Structure 1
Amino acid sequence: MIELKSAEEIELMAVTGEFVGELLAELSGVAAVGVNLMDLEHYARRRINERGAESCYWDYAPSFGRGPFRNVLCLSVNDAVLHGLPHDYVLRDGDLLSIDMAVGIDGWVADSALSVVVGTPDPADLRLIEATEVALEAAIKAAQPGGRLGDVSAAIGEVANAYGYRVNAEFGGHGIGRTMHEAPHVANSGRPRRGLKLEPGLTIAIEPWLCHSTDKIRYDKDGWTIRSADGSRTAHSEHTVAVTASGPRVLTRRPAHGTASPDHPEKSATHS
């Protein structure tokens, strides 16, 4: 069942979305060569606790994982793209890191992800990240009232194809609001003018993710981390978006520049 949100409920989701966007910006600033993934995880745990928010990941236990997840971030490095389980790993020069998080505040959820390169970037990695970001913006633009869900999915697929990347259809975006995963499923490829009619009040997480040279994936032994099947680099971008009468509204838009922790004033992550 798809629940359309009222204008007041969207404003409550926007409060959560603002926090998610701010924290992701902070984390992208903290991420640097020599930083351990668990440092990022514990930084996020502290900030979430200080805000009085609740992680949607901590008790997350889907059929494909070895749940519960028992962390607040998905941290995926290099060939890992989704559900990266935080672990004892020190970031190295040139690593491509994807950070994904979802939290709830006062019963309303927001979900977002970004990818960055720490240290010296490889132009091919920056192009891959750019493709996911351009695809995300195209999908957001397509989320117009009166349109169709297929318009959103097709926009992602068209950008991916224009960049020369193939789309994996096993995982995509989703409805969101009172819980992290609601109907409908938002595929990363599709046909325009097909599917669910987009009505004001629909809230969805749009999340294009791409592998550099394959559309196949494999799972780590941890039961969570999803990697490109051929070991090529990956990237992931995501926003929570509300369809409104005046057009799409991004609820998790980040500040223009990431804010580093006072304990980590350096900012070494590179965005496309």
Structure 2
Amino acid sequence: MIHYKTSEEVELIKESAQILGKAHGEVAKLVKEGVKTSFLDKIAEEYIRDNAGVPSFKGYNGFPASLCISVNEVVVHGFPSDYVLKDGDIISIDCGVFHQGFHSDCAYTYPVGEVSPNILSLLKATKESLYLGIEKAVFGNRVGDIGNAIQKFVEAKGYTVVRELVGHGLGKNLHESPEVPNYGKRGSGPILKDGLVIAIEPMVNLGTRNIVQERDGWTIRTADRKPSAHYEHTVAIFEDRTEILTTHKYIEENFNF
């Protein structure tokens, strides 16, 4: 069942998303060589709680942290740890905030130090595909139009789209219907109606689209251990417009990519 949001509920999600965006900005200041990923998680959690929010991910089905931190070939759901970022890494940071009864969800992939040009191209294409997907997230379109736009763009560049992991509705729950795949056929899937709030989150691999789940039950990596990129926004669909509720503004003020 899809839960459509009132304009008042969308405003509450937007307030949650502002805390989330600023938490991402605090983390962005610290993404560099020599930093432990567990320290990034600590900074994010402190900021969220200091601003009357709750980290959406911490404790979700037993997840142990506030951030999903996924380095290099890890696609999503990586744990913060004692791993120290090094030159040439890429790091996906995914975070959610629960505030005033509603969740928001947003992700960004960073290059650390000098990253090879082919991997930088993967990051740029994945980020661009997010906005191409959002362009199709308009009233009267269908979910398949979003995934089709993402898939066509990245596959034309020689990359692959993860199939097993998808975007999703969200609101009072972190994951709600509908699922929002990053592939698909135009004109397929649920119709995008007024009050729909969804997280669009392309996960794009440099090599094979195949993935493996590690023994921890969470961490997802590419089967061929080639890098993967991930960007995400929460968006609200209205009859007359689509609004991006989350923001990368505070990231991009603090991290030049």
State the TM-score, normalizing by the size of structure 1: 0.91
Aligned to 1:142: 136
Give yes or no for contact 1:58–1:69 (8 Å, CA) kept in 2. Answer: yes
Task: Give the percent of matched residue pairs that are identical in Structure 1 and Structure 2.
Answer: 38
Map 1:68-79 → 2, pairs under 5 A: 68-79=62-73
In 2: Cα distance, 1:72 partner to 1:59 partner: 8
In structure 2, the residue matched to 1:14 is: 14
Q: Give the distance between the partners of 1:56 and 1:42, measured in 2 at CA.
A: 14
Deviation at 1:26, TM superposition (A): 2.4
Gaps of 5+ in 2: none
Aligned to 1:50: 50
Q: CA deviation at 1:207?
A: 0.4
Asked whether the equivalents of residues 24 and 251 of structure 2 are also in contact (C-alpha less than 8 Å), the reply is no
CA positional deviation for 1:29: 2.1
| Partner SS, residue 106 of structure 2 | strand
Residues 191-200 or 17-26, more deviating: 17-26
Structure 1 portions without partners, runs of 5+: 62-67, 261-268
- Cα RMSD (Å) of the superposition? 1.3
Q: Counterparts of 1:1-272 in structure 2 under 5 Å?
A: 1-61=1-61, 68-255=62-249, 258=252, 271=257
The answer to whether the 8 Å contact 1:27/1:258 transfers is no
Decide whether the 8 Å contact of 1:27 with 1:40 is kept in 2: yes
Kindly state the Cα deviation for residue 130 of structure 1 after the two structures are TM-superposed: 1.1
Asked whether the 8 Å contact 1:175–1:181 carries over to 2, the reply is yes
Query: Counterpart of 2:242 in structure 1: which amino acid?
Result: P
What displacement does 1:2 show?
0.5
The CA deviation at 1:270 is: 5.1
Question: What is the aligned length?
Answer: 257
Contact residue 29 and residue 259 of structure 1 kept, 8 A: no
